[in-house]
């Protein structure tokens, strides 16, 4: 999403795409020339390119990040009604995909500080009905996976990683997030760290048989021509989007470094505000992809007013937790998750995208520090 009406846009995709315009136009012409618009050689080439980048055994391109989650859970063949432990702080697709796969999300509260449930919280929530964990690498922050993976292995549950906001994020060993469990999923919504010029997604992992199953599911469960052994869906990736992503993927590491540089400036500038109790800063973990730079402050209303007056783009992720969403009433109910609810009342994202200029970043710092003095 671009916001070019603000003096400091929250995201401006044109800035990122402008240096690659000629290559994007050439890719568009290539698709027009061969005339294969759904799946086909563009998608196959992108899947191979993405697998190499991620260090995955195989990758299946799909229609969007939501369908990536749904296809992954359908391919896993978990028992109907099985419970999936997950965070209450995420986009609704993280939970709705679990429900649509015939499973039930169980929301595990956040700690006092931080955006992810702890491994111990997942363990405490595990019951005989639990069949696995969905770990969400929210805002590009890599969830430490060793203890969660060990828990799932010990209890015989599956582990799926929602990496929609975290392509480019790395574990302490330098591996891509998304490879600790059965499958990782990605979204290529335009505002993601790697965004298509429309929608797209992917499922990747270390088990080629599972990814092959995802490929069947993305084609309505098709095994061969006119042979359908299971229900799937129309979850295919458009060739045009794959062609665009083939151009954009080589720029991802540079964009991630630029995000990290913007985040480092914020962390240094706002450290005195955190010491003064005016805000909480995100954890500067190694390997963070910084899809969003989200602070928490009890003075959010004042800060929103000041940013708006200064023409600085901003956003709230998320205004309410998943256990508070009426659409998810079929999930295991949680009447009150106090830490998640408090986070939703305090969280605020400020511009961190790689096209941000130094002058714009300094303007953001100026307005925040003037509004939340030490």
Counting residues of the chain whose pLDDT is more than 70, the rounded percentage is 98
CATH code of 341's domain: 3.90.1150.10
Decide if 168 is inside a domain. yes
How confident is the chain (374 residues) per 10-residue block, as mean pLDDT?
64 94 96 91 97 97 97 96 96 96 96 95 96 98 95 97 97 94 97 96 97 95 84 93 98 97 97 95 94 97 96 96 91 83 97 96 96 87
| Owning domain of residue 60 | 13-250
Decide if 293 is inside a domain. yes
Both 178 and 289 in a single domain?
Answer: no
Both 307 and 331 in a single domain?
Answer: yes
Both 208 and 318 in a single domain?
Answer: no
Both 67 and 26 in a single domain?
Answer: yes
Decide if 229 is inside a domain. yes
User: What are the structure tokens assigned to 211, written together?
Assistant: 């990814």
Both 244 and 258 in a single domain?
Answer: no
Would you list the DSSP string of 271-333? Answer: HHHHHTTS-BPPP--TT---S-EEEE-TTHHHHHHHHHHTTB--B-S-SS-GGG-GGGTTSPP
What pLDDT is stored for residue 3 in this prediction? 43
Phi, psi values for residue 265, rounded to 5°: -65, -45
- Residue closest to 299 by CA, chosen among 348, 266, 338: 348
State the total domains in the chain. Answer: 2
Q: For 271-320, how does the pLDDT look when each residue is reduced to its tens digit (9 = 90+)?
A: 999 999 999 999 999 999 999 999 999 999 999 999 999 999 999 999 99
What pLDDT is stored for residue 223 in this prediction? 85
Which domain-ending residue is among 250, 270, 297? 250
Q: For 145-191, how does the pLDDT look when each residue is reduced to its tens digit (9 = 90+)?
A: 999 999 999 999 999 999 999 999 999 889 999 999 999 999 999 99
pTM for this model (two decimals):
0.94
Both 41 and 172 in a single domain?
Answer: yes
């Amino acid at each position: 999403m671009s916001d070019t009406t603000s003096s400091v846009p929250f995201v401006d995709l044109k800035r990122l795409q402008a240096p690659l315009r000629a290559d994007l136009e050439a890719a568009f012409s290539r698709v027009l020339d061969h005339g294969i618009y759904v799946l086909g050689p563009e998608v196959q080439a992108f899947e191979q390119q993405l697998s190499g980048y991620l260090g995955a055994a195989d990758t299946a391109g799909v229609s969007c990040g939501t369908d990536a989650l749904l296809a992954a859970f359908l391919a896993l063949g978990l028992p109907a009604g099985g419970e999936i432990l997950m965070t209450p702080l995420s986009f609704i697709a993280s939970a709705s995909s679990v429900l649509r796969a015939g499973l039930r999300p169980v929301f595990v509260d956040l700690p006092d500080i931080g955006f992810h449930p702890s491994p111990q919280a997942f363990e405490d929530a595990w019951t005989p009905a639990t069949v696995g964990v969905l770990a969400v690498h929210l805002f590009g922050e890599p969830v430490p996976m060793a203890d969660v993976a060990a828990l799932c292995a010990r209890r015989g549950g599956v582990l799926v990683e929602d990496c929609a906001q975290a392509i480019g994020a790395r574990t302490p060993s330098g591996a891509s997030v998304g490879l600790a469990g059965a499958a990782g999923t990605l979204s290529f919504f335009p505002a993601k760290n790697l965004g298509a010029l429309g929608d797209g997604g992917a499922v990747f992992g270390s088990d080629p048989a599972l990814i092959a199953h995802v490929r069947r599911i993305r084609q309505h469960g098709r095994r061969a021509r006119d042979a359908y052994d299971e229900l799937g869906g129309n979850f295919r990736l458009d060739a045009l989007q794959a062609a665009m992503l083939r151009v954009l993927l080589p720029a991802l590491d540079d964009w991630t470094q630029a995000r990290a540089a913007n985040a480092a400036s914020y962390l240094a500038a706002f450290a005195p505000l955190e010491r003064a109790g005016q805000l909480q800063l995100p954890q500067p973990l190694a390997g963070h992809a910084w899809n969003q730079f989200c602070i928490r402050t009890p003075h959010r209303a004042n800060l929103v007013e000041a940013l708006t007056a200064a023409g600085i783009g901003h956003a709230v992720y998320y205004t309410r937790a998943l256990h508070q969403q009426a659409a998810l009433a079929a999930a295991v109910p949680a009447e009150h998750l106090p830490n998640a609810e408090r986070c939703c009342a305090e969280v605020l994202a400020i511009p961190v995208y790689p096209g941000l200029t130094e002058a714009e970043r300094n303007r953001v710092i100026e307005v925040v520090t003037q509004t939340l003095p030490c």
